[in-house]
Every structure is written in C-alpha cells, then in structure tokens.
Chain A
Amino acid sequence: MTVNMTKGQAISLQKDDGGSLTAVRMGLGWQSAPRRGLFGRRVREIDLDASALLFAGGQLVDVVFFRHLVSDDGSVRHTGDNLVGGAGTGGDDEAILVDLQRVPVHVDKIVFTVNSFTGQTFEEVANAFCRLVDETNGRELARYTLAGGGAYTAQIMAKVHRSGPGWTMTAIGTPSNGRTFQDLLPDISRQL
C-alpha cells in the first residue's frame, strides 16, 4: 500500500521476509503542457528532471542526472531525460534505478531530487508526482504529489542511507528552488 509520507519520517527498508531492500526506483511523472488552439496562448513545454546524488561521508562523489545517466560504477541508472512529460496517467516519465547491493562501499547516502528545468513551478504542472518504489516487489515506498505543492521549482525528495547491513529511507520532502541539482546543494547539505 502506498505510504504518503510525512516530512522526516523514516522507513527502514526491511522487507516482510526480513531481507533488506536491494533495489529502489525513483519515479517521476507529470502531464505534458496542454495544447491550445491556434490563437491560444503559446505554451511552454514542461521539463521536470529527476536526479540522484551519491554522498560519501557528507561529500558529493557522484551524481546521476540527465547529463550523466549512469554512475561510474553502474549501480545507479537514469532511464533517460524526458523533456515534455507524459499523459499524466500515473506512469513514470523519468526513473532512476538504484541497485543498492552494487553501490560502492564508500557511498553511504543517496539523495533524490526533482527539478523543474523549464522553470514552471509545481503549481503550474498538472498531475506531477514523484515516488520511490521497491523494485523487488513493485511496492511504493513513498509518494509525493508535486502538483499544487506551492510556488517551488524543486523538491528534495528523500534520502536512502546505510544503516547496519542494509539501507533505510528517510522522506525529506523539502521544497526548494533551482534549475538543476547544483542549485539545491546548499539545501541538500542541510538535510544530510
């Protein structure tokens, strides 16, 4: 069942059978800009971007985003930039897949963010959401509805961090502003 997480809520990513989480996917979906008639206002496409930032001891060591689709070790993969969004029917338009078992040992935190590259705030985007899915069973771990979320252009969504032998996810859900993940770094460092 879908957990609509509240800010700061932590979930230990233990599965029902006691095993820990092994693979997560961050999905991002939104509805493309509506087409108007010939004399309507000109519409701008909406481009939201999902990014995953890999931290080791508080230090940024790798980023997976639309210009760097696979982390150097191959454990984090972006499925590719979607520039215009989808039908808004609930499917992921961009996704980042993380194979937690292959993440290099020094990486201890992975932060997921969403940015509006084209600059529209989440108020203007229809049906936008981001979510974290346990890839092993398709269960949704966390879901944020971005649309109507206020006049922000970015959100620091959640972090996944090592705890003991496994990983734990903490929902962050802090809104922010920025075009790409670089603009969010000050905000992110406060959340680590």
Chain B
Amino acid sequence: MTAELARGQNHPLTEARPEVRVSAGRPVTVGAVLTDEQGRLSGTEGVILPGRPAGPPGVELPGGPDGAEHRVRVDLTALPETVHRVGVVLALPAGQSFGGGPAPFTAVVAPGATGPALVSYTITGLDSESAVVALELYRRQGAWKVRAVGQGYAAGLEALLADHGLTLAEARHLAGPVPAAADGDWLLPSPTPAGGTAVTDSPAASGAFTAQPPPGAGGAGAGGAGVPATPPAVPQSTPPAAPGTPAAASAGPGSPPVSGGGPEVAGAPAHERGGGQPAFPGVPGTPGVPGAPAGAGGPAVPPPPSGGPDGRPAPLDGPGWPAASAGPDAPGTGTAGGGIDYRHRGRTAGAAGGAPGGHAGPGAAAPGGAPGGSGYEGPGAPAEGAAPVAGDAAGWSMEERLYNQVWGMFEDLARAVAAHRGAVEFADGRMDQELDGVLGDYRARSDGTADRARREARARREELVGRAQQVLDQQLAQLRAESDVVEPALPPAYARWESPVWSACRAPEEQPLAVRLGDLSLPESGALRIPLLLRLPLERGLWIDSGQGRSAESLLVTPEERRRLALDMAVALATRLLAAHPPGDFAVEVIDAAGAGARSLAPLSRSGVLAEPPAVGPGAVSGLLARLAGHVDLVQMAVRAGAPESLPPGTDLAQRLLIVHDFPHAFDDRAVTALRYLADEGPRAGVHLLLVADREDAAGFGALLDPLWRSLLRLTPAPEDHLADPWVCHAWTYEPSLPPRDGRTLERVLDQVAAARRR
C-alpha cells in the first residue's frame, strides 16, 4: 500500500535499502545531499550529483555519470553516523523552472521492486523554482523516516546548496552548469497524474505548507540558476553565504499561518518581507562553532554537576543538548537540535527571515533566516514597526522554531546583561583609578582641583553607566516585546499554566521537543521571564529540592509547606508531560513510601492516569524499583543487540517518569542501589527520575549518594539563583511553573488525558 505524502508529512521507513525514483516528465538532474542533524552539509563531499566522484558510502546514483535513470539508491545501514538526513534533490538545467511543466513525482520503493511504492509524493505548487529538495530520509530516535519536503529554490541548485551550509563559492562551483540531463523516463507503474494533489486528510497537512515562495521573491544574495562557475573573486558583489536565500521567502501576506503540529500562531501577523540588506549574515559553513562556549553542548562535555548545596550554579546545557554523546541511536538526536547559531536573529520589521508562520521547509532553517536590519538600533531609535514575531527562528516545525527562539532570547538576554555588566564594571574600575590618582596628587589637595577631578571622575562614570543602561533598557524592551508575542504562541509543553492553550488542550500526535520547567530571570531583567525549556527525552533526572534553600523566599515557608510545594511542583510537571505526549506514550509511576504526599498526589491518583496507585511501604517500593530496573535491563539488552522487536510481547515502550517522594524514607541499601541504577541507565531506556527530596534527610547515606545528587538537575520550589547559562555563566533565578492554586486546571487537564487514553 503506497502512502501518499503531502508536503511536510513524514512516514516511517522500514526498508533498510530504499530506492528513490523520480519522474519529472522532462530532463532533470537528480542528486542527493547528505547532511547532519541540523540539515547542514559539512563540506562538498556530502553533495552527490551525477558526474561527481562518489561521496560517502550508502548513497549511489545508479544511472551512471549522466544520471539518466533518475534514481537514488540508499543503503541506510552503510551511511556514516554523521549523516542524519539524506535529501533527494531535483534540479533543472539553467533557464528552466518547474512552473510550466508537470509536477515532479517521487516515490520510495524497495530495491528492485516492481510492485507498489512504499511512499510517494507529488511535488505540487512549484512555480519559478528550478531546484527542489523533494524528499528527505532522516534519522529519528534511531530509526529512519521519510519526509515530503518539496522545498523549492528559485535561484537553483546553487542556492539550494548554499542553504544547506555550503559557502557560496562551493555551492556555485558544484552547481556550476547543471548538466543537461537525459530525458525524463516514467519509471513507476502509475504515477499520480501531474498536478493531482496528494493531500491527505492529515491534520498536519491542512492549511500548512500552502505558502509558496512568491515568484521572484528571495534570490537576494544568490545568482540565477546555473550560474557558470566563476570564481567569486569580486567581493563587493558577493554577500557571504547567500543571506536571504530564496528559501527565506515564504508566507506572503495573506497566507494562512502554519501550525506545525503546534497551536495556532496567535498574533503572528502576516509579515511584510523586507529584502533588507543582511546586517549580520550567516556564518558561512560553520554550523556549531567548534569550541565555542555554547558549542551545542558538545558531546564531549559530561553532564555538568547540578548546583548542589555548595552554591555553585549548575550550568544549563545548551539547546543543542548533547544527545549525540549517547551514540547515534540515542533518542532525541533526530532532526531537532538546532544548536545556537551565532547569527543574530533579526528582530525588526523586514528582518523576519525566520518565516513567521511560513513553510516548514529548510528555508526557515536557512542562513537566510537572519537577514534584515540590525537587531538593535542605536539608543533611543527603536526601529519603526519593529514588531517581533513568534517563531522567528530556525526550525522544521513551529514547535522547533519556538524552541530555538526561546533559546535565542535566553542567549540575547544573557549577552545583553553581560555587556551591561562589563560596561559598569569598566566604568567603576576607571573611576576608582582616577580617584586614586586624585588622592595621590598631594598638590591638588589644597586647592579645588582635587574636588573637581573627583566630580569629573564620578560624572564620567555616571555618563558611561547611563549609556550602558540606556542600551540595556532598549534591548530589554525589545525582548519583552518578543516575549509578549512568543508566550501566547507556545504549545502546552512550553506554555505557562495560565496560558489559554491549556484550556483548549487536545491530545497531541507527536512527542514534544522539550518541556518547560519554569522561568528564568536576572536581577537586571525586571519583569522579563525566559521560559526554561529542557529537551526531551530527559537526559538527566530531575531533583526538586524540598530542603532549606538559600533564597529569602524559601525561609518564609515552614518545612512542611516546602515539602508540599515541592511535591505539588512534581505533580504539575508530571501533568504537563502527560498532557504534552500522545495518549499512551508517557506513563507516570509514583513512590510515596510514607504515604505523606497523598494529598498532593490526589489529582494524579484520582484521574486514573497512574498505571498503579502510588507505592507505599518498603515492600511496594522495592517491588516497583525492581520492576523498573528489570524493564531498563530488558530494553537495554534489546537495543544493544539491535533487536528491539525481540522484546517480549506486552513490553510497554512508553516513556515513563518515576516520581520518588520522601526519599530516602523506606529505602534500604538495595533500593538505593536500584534507584542509582535507574538514574544512570534509565534515561536511555525511557525511564526518567523525578526525585522530591531534601538532601539533609539522606545524610545517613554519606558520600554514597553524592554522584546521584550531582547527576540530577536541581530545581527549587522557591525562586533561587542556582542555574547558569551556557554562554556567560550568569547566575539565573529559577522560578517553578505552577498551575493556578485552585487546582481546577490540573484536574481538568488530567481528566482530558485520562479520557484521551480511554479512546
């Protein structure tokens, strides 16, 4: 049975050696680009075109040098582990566009198959494009999937390659003269009639992706199709890295906003696209600057210790969570991950490169995502109409774009405050120096020069600090404005509990990319709060510290109240995770050894979302721990053996969260060992730990538990500044995200989760 995909849709790929066949009804060049998680080429060897030397193993063009057969044969098992996406590319000879001809048809078939295709996709809606990324095979949590991309480029193959991270020079060289391709041959039995839309009734496809690059839009920095390979030695006419690639053009005014699985983009206005000059165009060909502080977390970086009672801020991992460290088949290494790129995202009108509500094609992730005016105008000169837009960042889906946008805001705030602090520190140091100089000059003490010099020194300090403050205020205002549009657009997994998305929350179809743990702020940031989004699946367990915190707020509440707050927080987080996952994909288990948390846990137990009632008493605790440890063992063995299908029937592969309340009450040495095992090995088998504990209570275990505490991400029920950002290591104040006190929100959401499961 052939699955007909619509643009943006994906489909699991069971065939390890699939073959992609293309029929365009006319001469066309078919090739492939092999890219990393971020969809970036690491060099020209990842570009596979007819007539080019063979690239990495795993992909071949059986048609020979002239590419006559229009096939791409892929051996997914032979691909290097660094390759996460294989894009199938169609390019027309110079001067032609897809607009006039029949819609190209692509299909994925088993090798040598004559029967029906596994997946087919008709690329409709092309117009002035002369190159298109048709399909993409990509790794997702260790398995391969295929996605209908259909991202066209009016400026041809060169722009397409530049968009995937090649420098303009490389792209131009490769694209060069697109060889005159052989006549199109219709390899497939019965292709979908040209022009016939393959839109299915998938909700993901409805309304989405209808936005087409308007003809002629874009191409800001790229030449026409098939520009001869001239050496780009004319620098003044060569904006680097093709900022504003054609792909940046997307939803024109009036196009419906896209919901890439996420909620409607509230308040995302149809944005006028400025062809503005790039103020800070993409860094050519350097995704993930090596060694940079935020270098995507860096696989080599071990999970940083959480801020323990030693008071050291716990570094947050960068947005590019180092999932790669867990091996290529680690969950979460999928298409997501877009590490912080070092471009400054445009934040002004005409800078909406990030395709607000546009297509989810690579255009959004393109370097062109950052064209446009300077992010920050000079002091006192806010750009007119500098309306920020939700989703103004790179990403494949609205969810991913919002995630990257939030991390971008996080970085911007960190850096803006760092600049301000640097300036103030410098001003203070300079004033001190000058005052010292005045003091040392004994001759000046008698007459008035000393006083004058002192006044001048202070005035100079005030002037510099004032200017710094002015710049900071302006940047904060801009970030606040951005936060005001971003917050309402966030999907449930990212949203505040007060957000209206919680009142109209439906069971999602895909796992969320990340989850909001709370809010972050700095002393300078005033009312601005940055959502703390953590990548899913969780790489580390969480620890909600019910002990005496360091902050003034935590001193105001009694120990009992603190414990209750901590458990409430855990319940709220569990509820959020349950609601953000597709029904049945996430399970929650609870250990409440003393039964002390029954009141806080009531919403969970009453709604029936728990698989089993909370484990009370030593017997139940060790039983549950043993069961989970056995599950982890089993899954790990199966994964290691590469045979997940050999798991016994009935094995529940859902992600699960184990809430442990009142640790270490009723824990003997064996139970502690089991818990440590779960903390270490659980995440890779989908078992995640959420500990609600006071470290003092576990003092009896001594240093035995130190590794456990260090391995967990510490959160506090009261605001506390114990988290550090990955860029400049400010100490950020963390505030938990709690549902409204009346408890109704929580209950309603849990009821919905329970109802969705029953269905």
Q: Is B415 a contact of A138 with CB atoms below 8 Å?
A: no
Residue-wise, chain A 59-79 has the 8 Å CB interface mask toward B (1 for contact) of 101100011011011110111
A182 on interface, CB distance cutoff 8 Å? no
Question: Closest Cβ of chain A: how far from B67's Cβ, in Å?
Answer: 26
A102 at the interface (CB under 8 A from B): yes
> Once the chains bind, are A90 and B232 in contact (CB under 8 Å)?
yes
Which chain A positions have C-beta within 8 A of B281?
135
Q: How far is the CA of A23 from the CA of B342 in the complex (A)?
A: 14
Is residue A97 contacting chain B, with contact meaning CB distance below 8 A?
Answer: yes
Segment touching A, from B374-382, B523-531, B573-581, B677-685: B374-382
Contact A69/B415 with A97-B280, A138-B235 known, Cβ cut-off 8 Å: no
Binary contact track B284-324/A, C-beta < 8 Å → 1, others 0 = 10100111111000000000000000000000000000000
Beta-carbon nearest neighbor of A137 in chain B: B277
Contact assessment for B283 and A79 in the assembled complex, using a CB-CB cutoff below 8 Å: yes
Verify B231–A79 contact, CB threshold 8 A.
no
Q: Which residues of A contact B279 (CB under 8 A)?
A: 22-23, 99, 135-136
| Bitwise interface map of A from 137 to 161 toward B, beta carbon under 8 Å scored 1, else 0 | 1111000000000000000000000
B169 within 8 A of A: yes
Per the 8 Å Cβ criterion, residues 410-461 of B in contact with A are: 411-412, 415-416, 418-420, 422-423, 426-427, 430
B471 sits at the interface (CB 8 A)? yes
Complex contacts, B326 vs chain A, CB 8 Å: none
Nearest Cβ on chain A to B566's Cβ, whole angstroms:
35
Binding site of B, secondary structure by majority: helix, strand, loop or mixed? loop
A-B contact count, CB below 8 Å? 142
A136 x B232 contact (CB < 8 A): no
A104 touching B240, Cβ below 8 Å: no
The A-contacting residues of B in range 83-107, CB under 8 angstroms, are none
Within 8 A of A (CB), among B467-482: 467-468, 471
Is B238 close to A, CB under 8 A?
yes
- What is the CB-to-nearest-CB distance from A139 to chain B, in angstroms, rounded to a whole number? 5
For the complex, give the distance between the alpha carbons of A56 and B222 in Å: 39
Contact B344 A56 (CB under 8 A): no
Check if B169 sits within 8 Å of A165, measured CB to CB: no
Q: How far is the CB of B503 from chain A (nearest CB, A)?
A: 38
A105 near B283 with CB under 8 A, answer: no
Is B275 close to A, CB under 8 A? no
Q: Is A191 among interface residues, defined by CB-CB distance under 8 A?
A: no
Check B423–A95 contact: CB distance below 8 A: no
Q: Which of A67, A91, A99, A135 contacts B167 (CB 8 A)?
A: A91
Alpha-carbon distance A95/B289, docked complex (angstroms): 12
Q: By the criterion CB–CB under 8 Å, are A70 and B236 in contact?
A: no
Q: Is B237 an interface residue (CB 8 A)?
A: yes
Q: Is the CB of B728 closer than 8 A to any CB of chain A?
A: yes
* Min distance, Cβ A135 to any Cβ of chain B, angstroms: 6
Contacting pair A77 B235 (CB below 8 A): no
- Whole-angstrom distance between the alpha carbons of A76 and B468 in the complex? 17
- Is residue A125 within 8 Å, beta carbon to beta carbon, of the partner chain? no
| Shortest beta-carbon distance from A73 to chain B in Å | 4
Expressed in whole angstroms, the Cα–Cα distance for A80 and B377 within the complex equals 27
Asked whether, in the complex, the Cβ of B423 is within 8 Å of the Cβ of A105, the reply is yes
Is the Cβ of A138 less than 8 Å from the Cβ of B239?
yes
Complex Cα distance, B234 from A140, in Å, reads: 9
- Does A131 make an interface contact (CB < 8 A)? yes
Within 8 A of B (CB), among A72-117: 72-75, 77-81, 89-92, 95, 97, 99, 101-106
Q: Given A67-B291, A138-B240, are A72 and B418 neighbors across the interface (CB < 8 Å)?
A: yes
Q: Is B278 an interface residue (CB 8 A)?
A: yes
Docked-complex contact A72 and B422, CB < 8 angstroms: yes
Q: Contact between B728 and A72 (Cβ–Cβ < 8 Å)?
A: yes
B214 to chain A, nearest CB (A): 24
Whether a CB of chain B sits under 8 angstroms from the CB of A133 is yes
CB nearest to A90 among chain B residues: B233
Please state if B411 and A104 are interface contacts (CB–CB under 8 Å).
no
Partner among A27, A61, A92, A139 whose Cβ is within 8 Å of the Cβ of B236: A139
Q: Give the complex CA separation of A104 and B375 in angstroms.
A: 14
B284 engages A79 (CB within 8 Å)? yes
Q: Closest A-chain residue to B411, C-beta based?
A: A74
Does chain B have a CB within 8 A of A8?
no
A79 touches which of B277, B286, B427 (Cβ 8 Å): B286
Closest to B344 in A: A99
Query: Within the assembled complex, what's the spacing in Å between the Cα atoms of A70 and B294?
Result: 10
Is there contact, CB below 8 Å, between A140 and B464?
Answer: no
A136/B430 contact (C-beta < 8 A), A69-B289, A105-B423, A106-B464 known: no
Asked if B727 CB lies within 8 Å of chain A CBs, one says yes
* Known pairs A1-B236, A105-B467; A90 contacts B419 (CB<8 A): no
B277 in contact with A136 (CB, 8 Å): yes
Does the CB pair A78–B289 fall under 8 Å? yes
A105 near B468: Cβ-Cβ < 8 Å: yes
Asked if residues A105 and B464 are in contact (CB atoms below 8 Å), the reply is: yes
A2 near B: Cβ within 8 Å? yes
Which chain A residues (21-77) contact chain B, with CB distance < 8 Å?
22-23, 25, 27, 56-57, 59, 61-62, 66-67, 69-70, 72-75, 77
The answer to whether B233 and A74 have CB atoms under 8 Å apart is: no
Q: Given the known inter-chain contacts A79-B286, A105-B467, A106-B464, please indicate yes or no for A89 contacting B233, CB distance below 8 A.
A: yes
A133 pairs with B235, CB closer than 8 A: yes
A133 to chain B, nearest CB (A): 7
A94 → B minimal CB distance (Å): 10
Known: A105-B467, A106-B464, A140-B236. A135 touches B280 (CB 8 A): yes
Q: Are B231 and A89 in contact (CB under 8 A)?
A: yes
Question: B422 touching A77 by the CB < 8 A rule?
Answer: no
Give chain A nearest CB distance to B346 CB in angstroms: 11
- Contacts A80-B289, A140-B235; A105 near B430 (Cβ below 8 A): no
- Distance in Å from the Cβ of B228 to the closest Cβ of chain A? 15
Whether the Cβ atoms of B236 and A99 lie closer than 8 Å is: no
Contacting residues, chain A, for B280 (C-beta < 8 A): 23, 97, 99, 135
Which partner residue on chain A sits nearest B373 by CB separation?
A22
Within 8 A of A (CB), among B333-365: 342, 344
A95 touches B236 (CB 8 A): no
Q: List 17 A-B contacts (CB under 8 A).
A: A22-B374, A69-B289, A69-B292, A70-B289, A74-B411, A74-B412, A78-B289, A80-B289, A80-B290, A81-B291, A89-B232, A92-B240, A101-B375, A102-B344, A106-B426, A135-B281, A138-B235
Mark B residues whose CB is within 8 Å of A. Answer: 167, 169, 231-233, 235-240, 277-281, 283-284, 286, 289-294, 342, 344, 374-378, 411-412, 415-416, 418-420, 422-423, 426-427, 430, 464, 467-468, 471, 727-728
Chain A to chain B: the 3 pairs with minimum beta-carbon distance, closest first:
A73-B419, A74-B415, A104-B419
- Given A102-B375, A106-B427, 4 additional A-B pairs, CB 8 A: A74-B727, A95-B284, A102-B415, A105-B464
